Amino acid sequence: MKGEEFPAADPSQDYSIVARGLLKSFGKLKALNDLSVRMPRGTTYCLLGPNGSGKTTFIRAVAGLLRLDGGDLSVLGEPVHSVNRVYPRIGYMTQHKALYPDLTLRENMEFYAGLYGIEGWERDERISELLEMVDLADHIDRITGALSGGMYQRLSLACTLIHDPDLLLLDEPTVGVDPILREAFWRFFDGLAERGATILITTHLMDEAERCKIVGYMRAGRMLAEGSPEDLKRLAGLRPILRLWVKDPQASASSLAADGLEVEVVGGVLQVRIEEHGRLKEILEGVEPSDLRLVEPSLADAFLRLSEGGSR
Amino acid sequence: MMGPKINSRRVLVVARRVVRQLKRDRRTIGLITLAPVFLMILFGYALSGEMAGINLGVVDLGGQDALRDHLATVDDFDLLRLGSESDAERLIVEGRLHGAVVIRGEEVRVLLDGSSPQITASIMTEVKNGLLPLKGLQNGGRMDVGGELEDVEGGWLGGDGIVGGSSGPGGLGSDGDIGICAALGGYGGPGAAPEVVQRYIRGYDLEMMDSVGPAVLGLVVFFFTFITAAISFLRERTQGSLEKFMVSPLSRPEMVAGYLLGFSLFALLQSATTLLVVVLAFGVPMEGSPLTAFGVILLLGAGGLVLGAFLSNFAKTEFQVVQFIPIVILPQVVLSGVWWPLESIPAFLQPISYALPLTYSSDALRAVMLKGAGISEILVPDLLFLVGFFVLAFGAATLMLKREVG
Please check the confidence at residue A110 and state whether its pLDDT lies above 90.
yes
Residue B403 near chain A (CB below 8 Å): no
Cα A193–Cα A197–Cα A201 angle in degrees, nearest 5: 75
The pLDDT assigned to B338 comes to 83
Indicate the residue type of B236: E
Percent of chain A with pLDDT over 70: 93
> Which pTM was predicted?
0.71
A residues 146-175 lying closer than 8 A (beta carbon) to B: 169
Q: Give the mean model confidence (pLDDT) for residues B336-364.
A: 87
Q: Give the mean model confidence (pLDDT) for residues B134-151.
A: 39
Q: Give the mean model confidence (pLDDT) for residues A122-130.
A: 95
Chain A residue whose CA is closest to B28: A102
pLDDT tens track for B386-400: 999 999 999 999 988
Which secondary structure element, helix H or strand E, spans residue A35, and what is its range? Answer: strand A29-40
Please check the confidence at residue B327 and state whether its pLDDT lies above 70.
yes
ipTM above 0.90, yes or no: no
User: Rounded to whole angstroms, how far apart are CA atoms B148 and B395?
Assistant: 47
The reply to whether residue B239 touches residue A98, judged by beta carbons under 8 angstroms, is yes
The reply to whether residue A87 touches residue B247, judged by beta carbons under 8 angstroms, is yes
The pLDDT assigned to A108 comes to 96
Q: Give contacts of B406 with chain A, Cβ < 8 Å.
A: 66-67
Percent of chain B with pLDDT over 70: 78
Q: What is the second-level CATH architecture of the domain A241-296? A: 2-Layer Sandwich (3.30)
Q: Give contacts of A100 with chain B, Cβ < 8 Å.
A: 17, 21, 239, 241
Q: Give contacts of A97 with chain B, Cβ < 8 Å.
A: 239-240
Residue A72 near chain B (CB below 8 Å): no
The reply to whether residue A65 touches residue B245, judged by beta carbons under 8 angstroms, is no
Choice between B97 and A6, residue whose per-residue pLDDT is larger: B97
The pLDDT assigned to B189 comes to 39
Q: Give the mean model confidence (pLDDT) for residues B316-334.
A: 87
Q: Give the mean model confidence (pLDDT) for residues B3-7.
A: 69
pLDDT tens track for B179-237: 333 333 333 334 456 677 777 765 444 466 777 888 888 888 898 889 989 999 999 98
The pLDDT assigned to B173 comes to 36
The pLDDT assigned to A101 comes to 92
Q: Return mean pLDDT, chain B.
A: 77
Q: Give the mean model confidence (pLDDT) for residues A280-285.
A: 79
Q: Give the mean model confidence (pLDDT) for residues B279-293.
A: 85
Percent of chain A with pLDDT over 90: 42
Please check the confidence at residue B38 and state whether its pLDDT lies above 90.
no
Give, as one character, the DSSP assignment of residue A145.
G
The pLDDT assigned to A250 comes to 87
User: Rounded to whole angstroms, how far apart are CA atoms A22 and A27?
Assistant: 16
Q: Give contacts of A31 with chain B, Cβ < 8 Å.
A: none
Least confident of A251-255, B116-120, B195-199, B270-274: B116-120
Residue B350 near chain A (CB below 8 Å): no
A254-270: buried (b, 16+ CB within 10 Å) or exposed (e) per residue? Answer: eebeeeebebeeeeebb
For an interface test with B, the pick among A75, A85, A87, A167 (most B C-beta atoms closer than 10 Å) comes out as A87
User: Rounded to whole angstroms, how far apart are CA atoms A203 and A48?
Assistant: 6
The pLDDT assigned to B114 comes to 63
Q: Give the mean model confidence (pLDDT) for residues B241-266.
A: 90
Number of A–B residue contacts, CB under 8 Å: 81
Nearest neighbour of B247 by CB, restricted to A92, A111, A143: A92
Residue A11 near chain B (CB below 8 Å): no
The pLDDT assigned to A182 comes to 84
CB A152 within 8 A of CB A144: yes
Q: Give contacts of A67 with chain B, Cβ < 8 Å.
A: 405-406
Which secondary structure element, helix H or strand E, spans residue B403, and what is its range? Answer: helix B384-403
Give, as one character, the DSSP assignment of residue A119.
-
User: Rounded to whole angstroms, how far apart are CA atoms B257 and B248?
Assistant: 16
The pLDDT assigned to B4 comes to 54
Q: Give contacts of B245 with chain A, Cβ < 8 Å.
A: 115
Residue B17 near chain A (CB below 8 Å): yes
Least confident of A215-219, B180-184, B315-319, B323-327: B180-184
Residue A97 near chain B (CB below 8 Å): yes
Q: Return mean pLDDT, chain A.
A: 85
The pLDDT assigned to A136 comes to 93
Q: Give the mean model confidence (pLDDT) for residues A136-151.
A: 91
Residue A100 near chain B (CB below 8 Å): yes
Q: Give contacts of A95 with chain B, Cβ < 8 Å.
A: 240
Q: Give contacts of B248 with chain A, Cβ < 8 Å.
A: 87-88, 92, 112, 115-116
Residue A102 near chain B (CB below 8 Å): yes
Q: Give the mean model confidence (pLDDT) for residues B50-75.
A: 82
The reply to whether residue A98 touches residue B244, judged by beta carbons under 8 angstroms, is yes
The reply to whether residue B239 touches residue A94, judged by beta carbons under 8 angstroms, is no
Domain segments of chain A as ranges: 3-235, 241-296
CA distance B20 to chain A (A): 7
3 state DSSP class of B137: coil
Residue B191 near chain A (CB below 8 Å): no
Q: Give the mean model confidence (pLDDT) for residues A94-108.
A: 92
DSSP labels, B10-74: HHHHHHHHHHHHHHH-HHHHIIIIIHHHHHHHHHHHHHHS--SSEEEEEEE-S--HHHHHHHHH-
Q: Give contacts of B253 with chain A, Cβ < 8 Å.
A: none
Of B103, B63, B51, nearest to B82 (Cα)?
Answer: B103
The reply to whether residue A95 touches residue B240, judged by beta carbons under 8 angstroms, is yes
Q: Give contacts of B404 with chain A, Cβ < 8 Å.
A: 65
Domain A3-235, CATH number (from 3.90.1150.10, 3.30.420.40, 1.10.150.120, 3.40.50.300):
3.40.50.300
The pLDDT assigned to B129 comes to 83
pLDDT tens track for A241-250: 888 898 888 8
Please check the confidence at residue B166 and state whether its pLDDT lies above 50.
no
The pLDDT assigned to B130 comes to 84
Least confident of A78-87, B8-17, B41-50, B320-329: B41-50
Q: Give the mean model confidence (pLDDT) for residues B315-342.
A: 86
Please check the confidence at residue B358 and state whether its pLDDT lies above 90.
yes
The reply to whether residue B244 touches residue A92, judged by beta carbons under 8 angstroms, is yes
Count of C-beta atoms within a 10 Å radius of residue A206: 17
Please check the confidence at residue B132 and state whether its pLDDT lies above 90.
no
User: Rounded to whole angstroms, how far apart are CA atoms A262 and A285?
Assistant: 17
The reply to whether residue A115 touches residue B1, judged by beta carbons under 8 angstroms, is no
Chain A residue whose CA is closest to B3: A84
Choice between A254 and B31, residue whose per-residue pLDDT is larger: A254
Please check the confidence at residue A52 and state whether its pLDDT lies above 90.
no
Nearest neighbour of A111 by CB, restricted to B13, B239, B240: B13
